[in-house]
A and B are shown apart, each in its own frame.
Chain A
Amino acid sequence: MVQAESLTAARPIIVRPHAGRAMLGALGRFFKSSPLGTAAAALLVVLLFVALFAAQIAPYDPLRNDYAAARQPPSVQHILGTDNLGRDVFSRILYGMRVSLLVSIASVALGVSVGMVWGVTSGYIGKTYDILSQRLIEVLTSFPTLILAMLLSVSLRPGLGTVIVAVGVTQIPLATRITRSVVLSVKETQFVEAAQCVGAPPWRIMLRHVAPQCIAPVLVIATLNLGGAIFAEAALSFLGVGIPPPTPSLGNMLGGVLAQSFKPPWWLAVFPGVAIALTVLTANLLGDALRDFLDPKLNKRLG
């Protein structure tokens, strides 16, 4: 996993007005400059499509038990085999992909938006609020991320929402730090000074002038964190504190495979794992490409 827990400053990218048109142009340039990134983006779209239309693609009901067909190796009927309850592994992976992507995207969105609000306010307002915020962030980063997610997921009611919150909270510190460091340099620019001079209220300056400058680095962080979030969901569910069964997730399908019998069915361990690796790989490649494109300097600081 790319661990980016020790991170300092980030350079602001000055966003010009008329961003809509510019963004389309930027997208075109991104595709042109990074074939690997384009491939990753395309693959992510495919994975999202699969997750979205799991119900239409899946040949079987992922929750229906069929004891007559239990523990079958991959065959023509069940291309990735069946599990102990006779459920079709391929169908479960499709639905599991849906859960895993939903959890990871929602948790990153949660973590990054909280982090952005927190970082912008803490960087712009400063003073005691900033010092206290920094201390709190420090506490959050003093937990190994997976341990923090475990603590949160066990202290709330088990379920999808809990996993999203548990993984999302672990994403907050990094997003806050990045945003804050951008804000600290944007704060000194002339356009902020000009806004202050004409008497714009602080919330307006933060919203209209400061926050937009943080979008590019935050977007990079969000994409880079996506892989980590997929991994976190998988690990939590694998350990039995994530998505509760029978709902399939890529992680909980791996749980308890070895404990099942003297001859564990290999297809139960291999295919969900490949799905996890493929998803994380896609997210990582896209994140790397986006980072190189938007902010090459960030590379060094992320490690």
Chain B
Amino acid sequence: MQRYILRRFLTAVPTVFGITVLIFVAMRVLPGDPVALIASEGQGQYVLSASELASARASLGLDKPLPQQYIGWIGDVLHGDLGHSFWNKEPISATIGRRGTISLEIAVLAVLFSWLIGVPVGILSATRRNSWLDNIVRLFMTLFLAIPSFWVGLSAVLFLVLVFTWRPPLTITQLWQDPAQNLAMVIGPSLALGLGLAAGLARMTRSTVLEAMNEDYVRTARAKGLRERLVVSRHIFRNALLPIVTTTGATMGGLIGGAVATETAFGVPGLGNFLVQALNKRDWMVIQNLVLIYGVIFVVINLLVDLSYAWIDPRIRYQ
């Protein structure tokens, strides 16, 4: 297992390197550098002369050769310096610290909801295959896979605003400051995201459980007179667990991206909201470093998912 962890860890290093190169190419090499992006955005209000553009470039270090810029950026990041926002000069790392906890809470709760809803529903729907319950579950799964979670969020907020004249909180309340208010803020986005994830998970659980039910060891377990509940929990579910972990791992990318849109729909001041604001203001330093952080988080999650497969199923370690 240790050798597997080491090997898997080493393959992540070139991937992270590739991520930095791709971000750098997208931000600096593709037509239009950050200054041009900012200047092109304002309709007349940020029109800069050629010399102003040049001095803006120089002050941001954009006049240096590209390799030097790249090394400078990576050096800063490795020293823990993520730079500051172009517009309000706040250090990016401070904003991430403040908002990141909110996004982390939302992501963790969403995964939790998806397990709590998706797995039991999937098992139930498989064990009562083709019953009316199964049909309803399948209908809802198909529906929730098609409904974008950010729209669920938008509609939920709209409903609350119109019916209860409730407004989403705009200030950041951390869990340790005021748990109730913090929960009120994160519960909406995590439910909206969790329902979408649960639909995918229930679908996967259903098909793997159905498959496991046809295995010989299940027939053996029944034949020796084991109670149905035990057959399901000990024999069927245990073996359906790996695909469930796989599905959760595979949906992480969708969760991170979806969280950005859903946070914005709910107006929750999380990390995703920060990214959207930066995108719309062409705040390139924020975009560059936030996308890097999202990429690294995703790589780490994939690493952990892979390691958990190896832990659940020892056969994988020796491939």
Using CB atoms and an 8 Å cutoff, list the residues of chain A in contact with chain B: 1-6, 135-136, 138-147, 150-152, 154-157, 227, 231, 234-235, 238-241, 254, 257-258, 263-264, 266, 269-270, 273, 276-278, 280-281, 284-285, 299-300, 303
Check if B35 is an interface residue, CB within 8 A of chain A. no
B18 touches A281 (CB 8 A): no
Chain B residue at minimal CB-CB distance from A152: B26
Check if B158 is an interface residue, CB within 8 A of chain A. yes
Partner of A303, one of B157, B246, B261: B246
Check if B147 is an interface residue, CB within 8 A of chain A. yes
Q: In the complex, which residues of chain B have a beta carbon less than 8 angstroms from the beta carbon of A147?
A: 256-257, 260, 275, 291, 294-295
Q: In the complex, which residues of chain A have a beta carbon less than 8 angstroms from the beta carbon of B42?
A: none
B200 touches A3 (CB 8 A): yes
A276 touches B145 (CB 8 A): no
B254 touches A3 (CB 8 A): yes
B161 touches A303 (CB 8 A): no
Check if B85 is an interface residue, CB within 8 A of chain A. no
Q: In the complex, which residues of chain A have a beta carbon less than 8 angstroms from the beta carbon of B68?
A: none
B279 touches A239 (CB 8 A): yes
Q: Closest Cβ of chain A: how far from B109's Cβ, in Å?
A: 18
Chain A residue at minimal CB-CB distance from B149: A1
Q: Closest Cβ of chain B: how far from A143's Cβ, in Å?
A: 5
A238, B147: Cα distance in complex, Å: 14
A281, B146: Cα distance in complex, Å: 5
Q: In the complex, which residues of chain B have a beta carbon less than 8 angstroms from the beta carbon of A303?
A: 200, 204, 243, 246-247, 250
Check if B207 is an interface residue, CB within 8 A of chain A. yes
A interface secondary structure, majority: helix
Q: Closest Cβ of chain B: how far from A288's Cβ, in Å?
A: 8
A227 touches B146 (CB 8 A): yes
How many A-B residue pairs lie within 8 Å, measured between CB atoms? 178
Check if B14 is an interface residue, CB within 8 A of chain A. yes
Q: Closest Cβ of chain A: how far from B152's Cβ, in Å?
A: 9
Q: In the complex, which residues of chain B have a beta carbon less than 8 angstroms from the beta carbon of A264?
A: 158, 161-162
Asked, given contacts A1-B200, A6-B246, A239-B261, whether A135 binds B162 with beta carbons under 8 Å apart, the answer is no
Could you list 13 further interchain pairs (A-B, Cβ under 8 angstroms) beyond the known A152-B26, A254-B151?
A: A1-B258, A2-B200, A6-B246, A139-B22, A143-B294, A143-B295, A145-B253, A151-B23, A156-B31, A157-B40, A235-B261, A277-B148, A300-B211
Q: In the complex, which residues of chain B have a beta carbon less than 8 angstroms from the beta carbon of A139?
A: 15, 18-19, 21-22
Q: Determine which residue in B247, B279, B299 has the highest number of CB atoms from chain A within 10 A of its CB, and name it.
A: B279
Q: In the complex, which residues of chain B have a beta carbon less than 8 angstroms from the beta carbon of A152?
A: 26
B279 touches A154 (CB 8 A): yes
A19, B201: Cα distance in complex, Å: 38
Q: In the complex, which residues of chain B have a beta carbon less than 8 angstroms from the beta carbon of A277?
A: 143, 146-148, 151
B150 touches A235 (CB 8 A): yes
Check if B269 is an interface residue, CB within 8 A of chain A. no
Q: Determine which residue in B196, B251, B253, B302 has the highest number of CB atoms from chain A within 10 A of its CB, and name it.
A: B253
Q: B91-118, CB under 8 A of A: which get 1 and which 0?
A: 0000000000000000000000000000
A-B complex: 5 closest residue pairs judged by Cβ atoms: A146-B257, A139-B18, A281-B146, A144-B256, A273-B151
Asked, given contacts A2-B200, A142-B299, A273-B151, whether A300 binds B19 with beta carbons under 8 Å apart, the answer is no
A154 touches B282 (CB 8 A): yes
Q: Closest Cβ of chain A: how far from B167's Cβ, in Å?
A: 9
Asked, given contacts A139-B22, A239-B264, A277-B147, whether A269 binds B154 with beta carbons under 8 Å apart, the answer is yes
Q: In the complex, which residues of chain A have a beta carbon less than 8 angstroms from the beta carbon of B252?
A: 144
A1 touches B299 (CB 8 A): no
A155 touches B27 (CB 8 A): yes
Q: List 29 A-B contacts (CB under 8 A).
A: A2-B145, A5-B253, A6-B249, A135-B15, A138-B18, A142-B295, A143-B22, A144-B252, A145-B254, A146-B256, A147-B256, A151-B27, A154-B279, A155-B32, A156-B30, A234-B148, A257-B158, A258-B158, A258-B161, A269-B151, A269-B154, A273-B148, A273-B154, A278-B146, A280-B145, A284-B145, A300-B211, A303-B243, A303-B250
A156, B18: Cα distance in complex, Å: 20
Q: List CB contacts (< 8 Å) of B1-47 with chain A.
A: 14-16, 18-19, 21-23, 26-27, 30-32, 37, 40
Asked, given contacts A147-B291, A156-B31, A299-B207, whether A285 binds B142 with beta carbons under 8 Å apart, the answer is yes
Q: B128-145, CB under 8 A of A: which get 1 and which 0?
A: 000000000000001101
A273, B157: Cα distance in complex, Å: 14
Q: In the complex, which residues of chain A have a beta carbon less than 8 angstroms from the beta carbon of B27?
A: 151, 155
